[in-house]
Amino acid sequence: MTTTEIIYTDKAPEAIGPYSQAVRVGDLLFTSGQIPIVPETGEIVEGGIKEQTRQVMENLGAVLKAAHSSFKRAVKTTCYLADIDDFVAFNTVYAEYFTGKPARSCVAVKTLPKNVLCEVEVVAVVRDDINV
């Protein structure tokens, strides 16, 4: 039987709905989408797409760390942008964190929670003996 574990860290924003920050199922971690909320204040980070993307990545990094994983162990990301014209600027920051180039989908959506500019979710490996 595969073990399921709910992942939580106070270094990332609290869930704003009835869901977990992440769930580990066997050797895989599935994060919920992270938005650019500053964990200490609960407020959206100030600035444009680059600042918001950086905060999203910091939040994801905290969740990955809490689950004993990392950006380098990511195998799939799904990225949501409020404006596809932000694609290049988003990618500039995204590439600083996801250096292993996981599989990815990136789509523009009509509206994101709290009217933020981006949201990202990750699937990552958590087992140490699996090389990604």
The CATH code of the domain that includes 79 is 3.30.1330.40
Asked whether the predicted pLDDT for residue 132 surpasses 60, the reply is no
Q: Is residue 116 assigned to a domain?
A: yes
132 in a structural domain: no
Domain extent for 52? 4-125
- Tell me how far apart the alpha carbons of residues 85 and 22 are, in angstroms, rounded to a whole number: 29
- pLDDT > 90? residue 94: yes
Count of domains in the chain?
A: 1
CA distance 97 to 109: 23
Tokens 């932000």, residue located:
86
For the annotated catalytic residues, the residue numbers are 106
Query: Does residue 97 belong to any structural domain of this protein?
Result: yes
**86 in a domain, yes or no?**
yes
The order of strands in the sheet holding 74-81 is: 4-7, 22-25, 28-31, 118-125, 74-81, 103-108
Dist CA 31 CA 36 (whole Å): 15
Share of the chain above pLDDT 70, in %: 95
pTM value is 0.94
Residue 94 maps to a domain: yes
Q: What is the pLDDT of residues 44-80, one digit of tens each?
A: 999 999 999 999 999 999 999 999 999 999 999 999 9
